[in-house]
Structure 1
């Protein structure tokens, strides 16, 4: 199902449709401030397993991230964060970044990695954040499978490719080509894992 949602002023009715889909174990493809993402409710195990099958990966070995409404979710899904690290997060979020942080016990078991980490995203995208706010907790986020990112910028093309695998493809216009910048914050100092859309100065320290 292709669902047209206004990117600047999302219609509450459309957001409600998406949230109800997620609550019922559905899978969505939705816009972020970078590329279109594949997502589901983090507490819907069967939906997580469906996404893992789409990507041909083990959920516990996957690089799934949590899309959060704001930094208030950090205290729930990550271990205690000190002030210097919080300052870095606050300076970069919302924005095109994924921060890898030590996960708390609240992260669903199916998503627990052996490293006990979780990727946190707060995209600067109204639709994504409205969905999360209305849902009341983060949604799982991962990139669409395949190598040709160009195929994943046009929602109509995405819907043609994935309509049998997902429940809703949100059409918010043409998406970006560059994924988020990934920063590992689990060690002594932040480490750039993937250079993406977000600018990053290597010298940034806790």
Structure 2
């Protein structure tokens, strides 16, 4: 299967409310259409995770990112431009995504991916894609495809073929929360 066919299949699955398993710029992720509440609920169910713990979304560009927040502070763009490691930014006043994806305080975690497959997937899907590590909550994240449990593999609707043979170290993204008053909180280095 070509990468383009893989992307097409993953998009088709998400357009019909399905959940995918896919390689990202960090670890393997469980994903879905971030605007579809039922699909997001299914991701929480697969993760066996309380929906009060927010999930991360991926987008392909800063233009796409700004569609999902009422206001993106200047410091967020500076972070996007200067960070080398994949960095997830939590911003206030999220809009245009599933309500069950937005944290109780109105914030949303989003990352602009630079990795070829996930960037192309986000670009062609034209919406943010949920990206949470491919594991049951509390268990180690799946750095590579071979690390994903049968339980997770059987719970999703589509498993991407791209990068399945890869065996190299991957780590989760850094997470930085930017508050309304300019406060910066490092959640994960």
Instruction: Give the TM-score normalised by the residue count of structure 1.
Output: 0.79
CA apart distance, 1:159 = 6.5
Aligned residues: 183
Structure 1 counterpart SS, 2:119 = helix
CA apart distance, 1:175 = 5.6
Residues 183/43 of structure 1: CA separation in 2 closer, same or farther (3 Å cut) = same
**Distance in 1 separating the partners of 2:169 and 2:56:** 18
Structure 1 unmatched runs, 5+: 6-10, 196-206
CA apart distance, 1:157 = 4.9
Structure 2 match to 1:190: 184
Cα deviation, 1:72-92, whole Å, max 9, x if unaligned, reads 123211122233432222223
Structure 2 counterpart SS, 1:130 = helix
CA contact (8 A) 1:31 1:125 kept: no
The structure with more radius of gyration:
1
- Computed over aligned residues only, the root mean square deviation of the Cα atoms, in angstroms, reads 2.2
Instruction: Give the TM-score normalised by the residue count of structure 2.
Output: 0.85
Structure 1 match to 2:80: 89
Structure 1 match to 2:139: 147
**1:1-206 counterparts in 2 under 5 A?**
11-59=3-51, 61-92=52-83, 95-143=85-133, 144-145=135-136, 146-149=138-141, 152-158=142-148, 160-171=150-161, 172=163, 173-174=166-167, 176-186=169-179, 187-195=181-189
Cα deviation, 1:86-127, whole Å, max 9, x if unaligned, reads 22222237x511111113332322222211101111122111
Structure 2 unmatched runs, 5+: none
